[in-house]
Amino acid sequence: VTHAALVPVMLAADARSVRIIDQRRLPAEFVERELHMVDDVIDAIQTLAVRGAPAIGIAGAAAMAIAAQDYTMVDARTALVNLRLIGTRVAAARPTAVNLRWAVDRVLMTAARVTSDGAAVAAAIAADAQAIRDEDLAMSAAIGTHALALLPDPAVVMTHCNAGGLATAGLGTALAPVYAAHAAGRGISVVADETRPLLQGARLTAWELHRAGVPVTVITDAMGAAYMATHAVDAVFVGADRIAANGDTANKIGTYALALAARAHGVPFYVLAPWSTIDADTPSGEHIVIEHRGADEVTHVAGTRTVPDGVAVWNPAFDVTPAALITAIITDRGVHRSPFAVGPA
Amino acid sequence: VTHAALVPVMLAADARSVRIIDQRRLPAEFVERELHMVDDVIDAIQTLAVRGAPAIGIAGAAAMAIAAQDYTMVDARTALVNLRLIGTRVAAARPTAVNLRWAVDRVLMTAARVTSDGAAVAAAIAADAQAIRDEDLAMSAAIGTHALALLPDPAVVMTHCNAGGLATAGLGTALAPVYAAHAAGRGISVVADETRPLLQGARLTAWELHRAGVPVTVITDAMGAAYMATHAVDAVFVGADRIAANGDTANKIGTYALALAARAHGVPFYVLAPWSTIDADTPSGEHIVIEHRGADEVTHVAGTRTVPDGVAVWNPAFDVTPAALITAIITDRGVHRSPFAVGPA
């Protein structure tokens, strides 16, 4: 049982454009867009047309590859100076996911090793952006393999937000073992939180699992604890936007509440993410910068105002789950259990 | 600082109709409707035009008063036989809230004491329906007084769903002490969960608090735990639809998750409800029948489909919070602390 992989972001062979799936339009419409300008990619990241920590890393590297095409006629040093300025803007598109800054820094370091000319700089960045995508594909597969070993057969997995094929080059982080179980003919079903305010669980996770033939049940975010109290759940699988050196994990708002519910019900709570999500420079969760987004995401749903005009809202995009609530962190390098202390990379 | 009370449901003086606020239209529009038929009241209860456990008790009694007008020309026995059949339908409109069955049973017991004729039965039911409303007003005030004593000044209160003026004849159950604090000139602000799927927190609690000048911040349901982790919260106040004899409490889905978050953060978790919400015949939470509602409440928001077609959903209207997570139950009779064991009424 397989299905065509989703490609949420793909750099063109000539490195002059990037094709994305506009995830704001799902599930109503499957729309792909071709972006030619760095600012269009930044906008796509900021508006969550492209989202998911690994995917926005790939998008960030692709944006740098597009930018480098403007400096093929200058010397390598001039190209690099300009690209570093652009990289600062790209990396700032969203502040919490470490993958974005990591990918931008990586292609700039690759570029810095080129001393010939701007054309060679551009070629090096394009090749590195492609490598980041290829590594991400392999990463998804490795996470799937490591996490699959933790699941019974059949298994019921609960997840939050979308850390699936729409969030990575491959079959996702949190959903990678789900797809692996399904492909292996195991019994697997998923309970997906709808994930307000932007409903990535209802719109994206349910869409891609249903498309792949994996049974999925959508619940509202408030139902996770009640579901655990009345049904058997074998594991919670979530992604991560940044993991501090001590294991504290920033992920989509609501992850922390779900971790508390899992703890109360003895359900193992796993964070699945590329090794690059671990930020050794951030000692613990309270040092993670949390992005706050516009009030209209909370005050309006599908264009309809649901909160009365003039009422305040609070809208952090992420929360921090303390390491103590995390059973294990599963990366492409394996299964990491508490204590999670990570040294410098 | 006062404000005009909201009257979510009001029996006409001639007992031939009931006026309701159609809460499905808030906050966009304030619409009142005049209902003349029992089936219209049942429909209003089932569709949540009238909602909130105390208010649907008042609506149920009012529906019986309207029904009794059809039997003023018959003998008392015939009237009662027919009204008991109608009462079964009214009480079944929503299965979880104990107040609905309690109110219907109460007016039928009142009617059973009348032996003269159907007109006297109708008069007795109308008077008792009015008494239920008057007692509910007093109940709100008493709950407000008892709970106010538990709050510091200033205080931040978190709440879920709507247990305010739109849910009772008075100023609510969970919100009664909030209004009492505001009227007393104390510092009081509220953090309101939006309460998916039907958004009673965003649409109703925020609307009525903002209307009354009480500062209110709306969060999505997934944010409660994260809010507690990053802000001082003095208490969680929620209502109840049914309280078992051991204190286990059925309330709007998501209440249990919020209770887990409150416990994790040492925030007192209070259930505020009329004494009549305590169902001595239900020994514990697992015996409470939980109403499950239609999938479209989860699959659609404001008329827009957010869950892909063909995907399953789970949509219980309520969950059960174990007594062990409840700091105190506050009724019109006072503050009840664990153990909550209640004998027969």
ipTM of this complex prediction, to 2 decimal places: 0.94
Give the model's pLDDT for residue B344.
46
How near does any CA of chain B get to the CA of A303, in Å?
8
Count H helices, E strands: chain B?
Answer: 11, 17
- What residues in B contact A319, CB-CB < 8 Å? 223, 225-226, 229
User: Known catalytic residue: A134?
Assistant: no
A201 part of contact set with chain B, CB < 8 Å = no
Q: Does A324 touch chain B (CB under 8 A)?
A: no
Read off the tokens for B46: 């089932």
Per-residue pLDDT, B5 = 73
Catalytic residue among B128, B193, B241, B319: B241
With beta carbons under 8 A apart, name residues in chain B contacting A193.
Answer: 222
Shortest Cα–Cα distance, B241 to chain A (Å): 16
- Name chain B contacts of A201, Cβ cutoff 8 Å: none
Q: What is the pTM of this model?
A: 0.94
Per-residue pLDDT band for A283 (boundaries 50, 70, 90) equals: very high
A212 contacts in chain B (CB < 8 Å): none
Chain B partners within 8 Å of A307 (Cβ) = 27, 194, 202-203, 206, 218
Sort out which chain B residues have CB atoms less than 8 A from A214's CB and list them. none
> In percent, how much of chain A has pLDDT > 90?
94
pLDDT tens string, chain B, 345 residues long: the values are: 345 678 999 999 999 999 999 999 999 999 999 999 999 999 999 999 999 999 999 999 999 999 999 999 999 999 999 999 999 999 999 988 889 999 999 999 999 999 999 999 999 999 999 999 999 999 999 999 999 999 999 999 999 999 999 999 999 999 999 999 999 999 999 999 999 999 999 999 999 999 999 999 999 999 999 999 999 999 999 999 999 999 999 999 999 999 999 999 999 999 999 998 999 999 999 999 999 999 999 999 988 999 999 999 999 999 999 999 999 999 999 999 988 876 544
Q: In this predicted structure, what is the pLDDT of residue A4?
A: 60
Q: Given pLDDT bands bounded at 50, 70 and 90, which one contains residue A28?
A: very high
Burial letters for B81-98: b for 16+ Cβ neighbours within 10 Å, e otherwise?
ebbeebbeebbebbbbbb
DSSP assignment string, A162-230 = --STTTSSSS-STTHHHHHHHHTT--EEEEEE--TTTTHIIIIIHHHHHHTT--EEEE-GGGHHHHHHH
Task: Report the gap between the CA of B254 and the closest CA in chain A (Å).
Answer: 4
Nearest to B131 by CA among B169, B97, B93: B169
With CB atoms and an 8 Å threshold, state whether B197 touches A206: no
What's the pLDDT tens digit per position in A100-136?
Answer: 999 999 999 999 999 999 999 999 999 999 999 999 9
Q: Across the interface, which of B160, B195, B257 has its CB nearest the CB of A257?
A: B257
- Categorize the per-residue pLDDT at A344 as very low, low, confident or very high, splitting at 50, 70 and 90: very low
Q: Which residues of A touch B311 (CB under 8 A)?
A: 206-207, 210, 216-218
For residue A345, the model assigns a pLDDT of 43
What is the model's pLDDT at position B1? 34
- DSSP class per residue in A15-31: SS-EEEE-TTSTTT---
CB atoms within 10 A of CB B31: 13
Residue B332 touches partner A, C-beta closer than 8 Å: no
Q: Pick from B100, B107, B110: which is nearest to B129 by CA? A: B107
Out of A117, A193, A234, A241, pick the active-site residue.
A241
A189: nearest CA partner in chain B? B312
Yes or no: say if B270 and A240 are a contact pair by the CB < 8 Å rule.
no
CB contact under 8 A, B220 and A303: no
Residue of B225, B315, B320 lying closest to A260 (CB–CB): B225
Which of A25, A223, A241 should we substitute to test contact with B (largest number of B Cβ atoms within 10 Å)?
A223
The predicted pLDDT at position B183 comes to 96
pLDDT in the model for residue B3: 53
Residue A310 in contact with partner chain B when CB distance is under 8 A:
yes
pLDDT number for residue A205: 98
Three-state SS across B176-207? HHHHHHHHCCCCEEEEEECCCCCCHHHHHHHH
pLDDT tens, residue by residue, A172-210? 999 999 999 999 999 999 999 999 999 999 999 999 999
Burial B156-193 (b: 16+ CB within 10 A, else e): bbbbbbbbbbbbbbbbbbbbbbbbbbbbeebebbbbbb
Contact status of B164 with chain A (Cβ, < 8 Å): no
Each residue's pLDDT tens digit, A245-258 = 999 999 999 999 99
Instruction: Please list the residues that pair with B189 across neighbouring strands.
Output: B156
- pLDDT band (50, 70, 90) for residue A38: very high
With CA atoms as reference, the chain A residue closest to B317 would be A223
- Which of B160, B219, B319 shows the shortest C-beta gap to A314? B219
Q: Test A219 with B298 for CB contact under 8 angstroms.
A: yes
Amino acid, res. A56: I
Q: How far is CA A26 from CA A323, B304, B309, in A?
A: 33, 12, 12
**Which amino acid would we find at residue A194?**
E
- Joined together, the tokens standing for residue A105 give 């820094």
Q: Chain B contact for A312, CB < 8 A?
A: yes
Tokens of B231: 């802000």
The confidence score (pLDDT) of residue B10 equals 96
The predicted structure's pLDDT at residue A178: 98
Cβ-contact A258, A227 below 8 angstroms: no
Segment holding A321, helix H or strand E: strand A318-321
A169 pLDDT more than 80: yes
